Amino acid sequence: MSASRFPAPVSAVALAAAVEDGRTTAAEAIERSIAAVEAHDEMLSAFVATSFDDARAAAAVSGPLAGLALGVKDIIDTAGMATEMGSPLYAGNRPRADAPVVALARRAGAAVIGKTVTTEFAYLQPGPTRNPARLDHTPGGSSSGSAAAVAAGLIPLAFGTQTGGSVVRPAAFCGVAGFKPSFRLIPTVGVKCFSWSLDTVGVFGAGVADAAYFLAALTGRDLRVDTVAPSAPRIGLVRTHLWEEASAEMRQAVETAGRLAEAGGASLVDIDLPGLFADAFSAHQVIQDFQAAQALAWEYDHHAAALSPILRDALTLGRMLTPADYDRARRTARQARLALRELFADIDVILTPSAPGAAPEGLATTGTSIFNRLWTLMGTPALNVPGLTGAGGLPLGVQIVAPFGRDRACLEAGRFLERQLSGA
């Protein structure tokens, strides 16, 4: 089933500039987003709740995000709006306060327009959201509604979270930029915990510059990449031990991205990851499941019957892990992080798949995070770079990974690559 016509994705950078120089007003920009949600979300199902009056009131707030409508993943607390975690257990749950990331966005002028659909507790049970590129394909998860709403042009910006691949993968499936910053760059207080060593708040924008603009406004850091032409990076092409799990067109997409980057002046080298990183990939699952069994202890102990079978089974397996299993996985993760520092000695960034391929058909699954988990475990910044499409017209995303703390380098390299892909 082909998607009906949605609005084109909205550039946050361009819209902010239009508000700043008076070509439009914040109120007008917010009204356009409200109209887009009203016109198209019945088909898309990106939002679980909206708050148009609150969004309109935000037009009076000045700041770099003035006039920019924002979607907030529904595991992130919002004062006065329900935060339901994608679960009937939290139906009607109304936090007293905004999570810090939401408060910071509002302070910068953003208009919170609503809560976007999440999978149950940001795990694997899908919600109703559809992919705007093809409505009969998954948008990915767990930040399903955030990626879809930005890709469909309903809103310019959205928050997501990533514990495995929940920002990068849906961004890839929907064809937008999704950025998972370095671990703890921005706070996760007020975000429903699944795995405290892995959970990271991320951002979605139409393109790389838009995601960077959003993060710069939130953090006050020099992260904007729209003001100067990015320099050509030194790129390491990393296929990982899972390369054969990628579809033929995804493998070709990564090769194409590398070739175009090289043609634009970047250096490109192949890098084979030592076996330690395959062990670290496996360690991610142990750490996530062990911590999730504790983070969702109340839900499991008192309301197990209300949990989806896939989540309940995962928590049961997590309870079977021993502290020794967990500590061994943590040691492996630390060894891999140290080894990764050495790998980056001669390159600036890594190029690797964002997902095994284009968005799978159907809404019964959100796909797999196998090409994201390692980088989430490493705590490194990771970015989906949009711009390529597969034979069926579905987006194909490639992933840029930079060293821990080098978020600007990741965004700059992503912007460089995005420009090269625009001519593909």
**141-168 confidence digits (pLDDT tens):** 999 999 999 999 999 999 999 999 999 9
* 245 and 389 share one domain: yes
* 176 and 47 share one domain: yes
> What pLDDT does 391 receive?
86
The mean pLDDT of 411-420, rounded to a whole number, is 99
Q: Is there a domain that residue 173 lies in?
A: yes
- 3-state secondary structure string across 158-179: EEEEECCCCCHHHHHHHCCEEE
What CA–CA distance (Å, rounded) separates 201 from 183? 9
Task: Report pTM.
Answer: 0.98
* 74 and 202 share one domain: yes
Establish whether the linkage from the previous residue to 142 is cis, with ω within 30° of 0. Answer: yes
Q: Is there a domain that residue 7 lies in?
A: no
> What pLDDT does 126 receive?
98
Say whether 166 is catalytic: yes
Evaluate whether 240 touches 277 at the Cβ level (below 8 Å).
yes
Q: Is there a domain that residue 5 lies in?
A: no
Within 10 angstroms of residue 338's Cβ, the number of other Cβ atoms is 10
What CA–CA distance (Å, rounded) separates 286 from 33? 41
> What pLDDT does 131 receive?
98
> What is the average pLDDT score of the chain?
98
| Segments forming the whole domain that contains residue 68 | 12-219
Q: Is the dihedral of CA 241, 392, 151, 310 positive or negative?
A: negative
* 29 and 100 share one domain: yes
* 71 and 33 share one domain: yes
Confidence of residue 423 (pLDDT cuts 50, 70, 90): confident
* 67 and 190 share one domain: yes
CATH number for the domain spanning 249: value is 3.40.190
Percentages helix, strand, coil for the chain (3-state, rounded to 5) are: 45, 15, 40
Read off the pLDDT of residues 322-336 as tens digits, 9 standing for 90 and up: 999 999 999 999 999
Read off the pLDDT of residues 181-191 as tens digits, 9 standing for 90 and up: 999 999 999 99
* 155 and 99 share one domain: yes
**In terms of C-beta density within 10 A (0-12 exposed, 13-18 middle, 19 or more buried), how is residue 265 classed?**
exposed
At 179, phi and psi to the nearest 5? Answer: -120, 125
- Among candidate residues 289, 315, 333, the one where a domain is terminated: 333
Read off the pLDDT of residues 201-253 as tens digits, 9 standing for 90 and up: 999 999 999 999 999 999 999 999 999 899 999 999 999 999 999 999 999 99
The mean pLDDT of 75-91, rounded to a whole number, is 98
Alpha-helical (H) ranges within 21-143 are 26-44, 52-57, 100-107
Identified catalytic residue from 33, 146, 166, 354: 166
Evaluate whether 85 touches 190 at the Cβ level (below 8 Å).
no
What's the domain count of the chain? 3
Identified catalytic residue from 142, 143, 195, 354: 142
Contact residues for 53 (Cβ-Cβ < 8 A; gap 6+): none
* 121 and 159 share one domain: yes
Q: Is there a domain that residue 191 lies in?
A: yes
> What pLDDT does 86 receive?
99
Within 10 angstroms of residue 221's Cβ, the number of other Cβ atoms is 15
* 285 and 149 share one domain: no
Q: 137: which DSSP letter?
A: B
Contact residues for 415 (Cβ-Cβ < 8 A; gap 6+): 208, 209, 212, 225, 226, 230
> What pLDDT does 124 receive?
98
Q: Is there a domain that residue 294 lies in?
A: yes
Q: Is there a domain that residue 190 lies in?
A: yes
- Among candidate residues 333, 356, 376, the one where a domain is terminated: 333
Alpha-carbon 313 to chain mean position: 25
Which of 165, 173, 171, 169 has its CA nearest to residue 200?
Answer: 165
Read off the pLDDT of residues 267-321 as tens digits, 9 standing for 90 and up: 999 999 999 999 999 999 999 999 999 999 999 999 999 999 999 999 999 999 9
Given a cut of 60, is residue 1 above it in pLDDT? no
Q: Is there a domain that residue 228 lies in?
A: no
Identified catalytic residue from 33, 51, 73, 144: 73
* 306 and 355 share one domain: no
Given a cut of 70, is residue 2 above it in pLDDT? no
**Structure tokens, 208:** 């790389």
Say whether 73 is catalytic: yes
- Among candidate residues 314, 333, 352, the one where a domain is terminated: 333
Contact residues for 264 (Cβ-Cβ < 8 A; gap 6+): 232, 416, 419, 420
> What pLDDT does 33 receive?
99
> What pLDDT does 5 receive?
85
DSSP letters spanning 280-314 = HHHHHHHHHHHHHHHHTHHHHHHHGGGS-HHHHHH
The mean pLDDT of 370-374, rounded to a whole number, is 99
* 259 and 283 share one domain: no
Q: Coil, strand, or helix at residue 205?
A: strand
* 251 and 306 share one domain: no
What CA–CA distance (Å, rounded) separates 167 from 169? 6
Confidence of residue 4 (pLDDT cuts 50, 70, 90): low
Alpha-carbon 320 to chain mean position: 30
Q: Is there a domain that residue 3 lies in?
A: no
- Report how far apart, in Å, the C-alpha atoms of 312 and of each of 84, 122, 142 are: 18, 13, 17
**In terms of C-beta density within 10 A (0-12 exposed, 13-18 middle, 19 or more buried), how is residue 386 classed?**
buried
**In terms of C-beta density within 10 A (0-12 exposed, 13-18 middle, 19 or more buried), how is residue 352 classed?**
buried
Evaluate whether 174 touches 147 at the Cβ level (below 8 Å).
yes
